[in-house]
Amino acid sequence: MSRMRIVSVQLPQGLINAMDQLVKMGVYPNRSEIIREAIRELLKRELYRLESKERSAPDYVIK
C-alpha cells in the first residue's frame, strides 16, 4: 500500500458513534478503514457518473 497521509476532518458525534458501533461489531478494524472505504466508494461512484456523461449521446442528438 502506498504511503498514508494524515487528513483531519470534523464529523458529527452521531457518525462517530455509528463508526464505533461497526468497529465494536468487528465489521471494520478501525475508524480509519471505515472512512477510507467510504471515500473509495464515493470516488468510484462520482467518477463513473462523470465518465458516463462523457460517453452520452453525441451533441447532434437532442436530449
Q: Residue 21 CA to chain centroid, in angstroms?
A: 19
Q: Does residue 6 sit within a domain?
A: no
Which residues constitute the domain of residue 33?
Answer: 13-54
Q: Does residue 62 sit within a domain?
A: no
Q: What is the pLDDT of residue 20?
A: 98
Q: Does residue 50 sit within a domain?
A: yes
For residue 18, give Cα distances in angstroms to 5, 12, 21, 31: 24, 10, 5, 10
Q: What is the pLDDT of residue 59?
A: 65
**Closest CA relative to residue 34, chosen from 22, 25, 47, 44:** 22
In the chain, the number of structural domains is 1
Q: Does residue 60 sit within a domain?
A: no
pTM, to two decimals: 0.76
Give the model confidence (pLDDT) of 3-62 as tens digits.
999 999 999 999 999 999 999 999 999 999 999 999 999 999 998 888 887 776 666 655
Q: What is the pLDDT of residue 51?
A: 81
Q: Does residue 63 sit within a domain?
A: no
Q: Does residue 8 sit within a domain?
A: no
Q: Does residue 3 sit within a domain?
A: no
Q: What is the pLDDT of residue 50?
A: 83
